[in-house]
Structure 1
């Protein structure tokens, strides 16, 4: 889906240019920022390796009457690779903090509702730990406080995070050798059937969307991806943030997610007992495109019920059909 958007950059202290994109919908580009500034803000934070098309259902819904922004991690999309080769979790939290403040400055001065997917869940939780005043509401989709958590995988890894982190560290010098093989696979016709065969993708996963994501992933700097995974594994989980959460929170879980199993999201639910719970049937880790309309409706209904967003333009309030 082609987006109409304005792309700007924030400059990190190490000199890395980090991109963020404001979705302008039908607004003329010359007038877009002034027209969108008074609208309630929503800031989208990706999963690792995810391309922007994963947000297309949510963007199509919210850009009608919200100011919607998504941003690119270092080495993703329009953002540069990290100038100092640092991809630790705290670095992405730093970048999100700057983008949130920039969004407030160019908007109505109020912090946005943060919507995060997969790895982005940890980034937003850590921003809440650091600057809770910047996170007035959260929607956390398909990600947990320890994602990726080897102890929850279909075949648990002995030694858990420590074992996998050490393995990633040992294999780092071989990334340039492995990258062409991975690139060829992601670019081949085998990638989508492999995802279906292994259960990573459900039958309703749109092939075009998955292919677009795989294409973007195949063009991503391989070291950036690898070092981001290392950074996640080497950072302590964020479970201790959950009891501190005092803002409206929505948890969206996919019943058939093999990458972030349902039990990890259920633990999130136990840690934030006031959170709204949405369970999406027949969806896996690609739920944002497998069940995009359902998730978009749930996010809007949550915003309306919490008093932080409007109903559908010129329509009666829409109730979420999902389990809560």
Structure 2
């Protein structure tokens, strides 16, 4: 689904170019940065492998009166594959730090409101650990600070988490061999029905949005995807919540099979001051399944927290 946007890049120390996209709304492209410099900024951080159309409802809601930017992880979208081969969480966080600073430099000098989905929740929380001055507020959607259940105490939980990491590491040598079959499946008519049958996709999931997502995954480097996934299996950011002192919004879905509702509920318990929304009849693809509801909730949160003037309320 096409957007009007201006694409720019920042360079990481290893030479990897990281893409970020400023949504233009109805503005002429040559006037975008000048016209948007004084607007409140919103920075969108994806899930692993996520195509940009997942953000389309939030972009449509905010782009006319905000400076809305989304960026791409290494090996995703318009960003280069990692020139050093590094896809660790720490490196992704450093990339987000550079994008955030560039966004501030080209705008009014103020840090943006961060909106994160899925894997992006971990990345934004790690940036808060590293540079809390860059995150004045955050919306965390269908994502947890670590792998499923990593917050649970006890030896059994640690064994389960360790077994999951070992399984992912063991499969890694097979990724080049499996990639053609995975791409063929994603290109087939079976991909969408399979998602419905497994419960990963709900009835509200638009077929066109998911087809675009599958096409994006087909174009992506299997190595970039898998190494990014491996990086997520190392450590977690649950401890960051103890130091969070900025307005935070948590958005969960009732039928999310990727990020268990128990993880989102635990986030709510350890951050009781957070604004909470539970979206009904939606799964992990809630950004497209219940996009208008989520976009309205984000804008309402911005108004309630004084991040934007009440005059901007829908």
Report the TM range for the smaller structure's normalisation: over 0.9
Alpha-carbon distance in structure 2 between the residues aligned to 1:94 and 1:260: 24
Partner of 2:65: 65
What's the CA shift string for 1:31-68, capped at 9, x where partnerless?
A: 11000010000000000010000000000010010000
Q: CA deviation at 1:310?
A: 3.5
Find the aligned partners of 1:204 and 1:311 in 2 and give their Cα distance.
Answer: 31
Post-superposition Cα deviations, 1:94-142, rounded to whole Å, max 9, x if no partner, equal: 0000000000000000000000000000000000000000000000000
Give matches, 1:82-93, under 5 Å: 82-93=82-93
| 1:138 and 2:138 are equivalent in the alignment | yes
8 Å Cα contact 2:253-2:261 kept in structure 1: yes
2:196 maps to 196
Map 1:88-107; keep pairs closer than 5 Å: 88-107=88-107
Counterpart of 1:56 in structure 2 is 56
Taking the aligned partners of 2:214 and 2:293, their CA distance within structure 1 comes to: 23
1:198-217, aligned counterparts within 5 Å? Answer: 198-217=198-217
Say whether residues 1:297 and 2:296 are aligned partners.
yes
Q: Relative to 1, partners in 2 of residues 1:135 and 1:190: Cα closer, same or farther, differing over 3 Å?
A: same
5 Å matches for 1:1-324? 1-149=1-149, 159-233=159-233, 235-311=234-310, 313=312, 317-318=313-314
1:309 Cα deviation from its structure 2 partner: 1.6
Q: Which structure 2 segments of 5+ residues have no match?
A: none
Provide the TM-score with structure 1 as the length reference.
0.93
SS at match of 1:171: helix
1:200 and 1:8 map into 2 onto residues whose CA distance is 34
- C-alpha distance in 2, partners of 1:151/1:217? 29
Q: Is the 8 A contact 1:119 1:147 kept in 2?
A: no
Q: What is the Cα deviation at residue 172 of structure 1? A: 1.5
Residue 322 of structure 1 is matched in structure 2 by: none
| SS of residue paired to 1:159 | helix
> Would you say the 8 A contact 1:58–1:296 is kept in 2?
yes
Q: Deviation of residue 148 (structure 1)?
A: 4.8
**Cα distance per residue 1:46-92 (max 9 Å; x no partner):** 00010000000000010010000000000000001001111111111
- Shift of the 158–240 alpha-carbon distance from structure 1 to 2, 3 Å rule, reads closer
TM-score (norm 2): 0.96
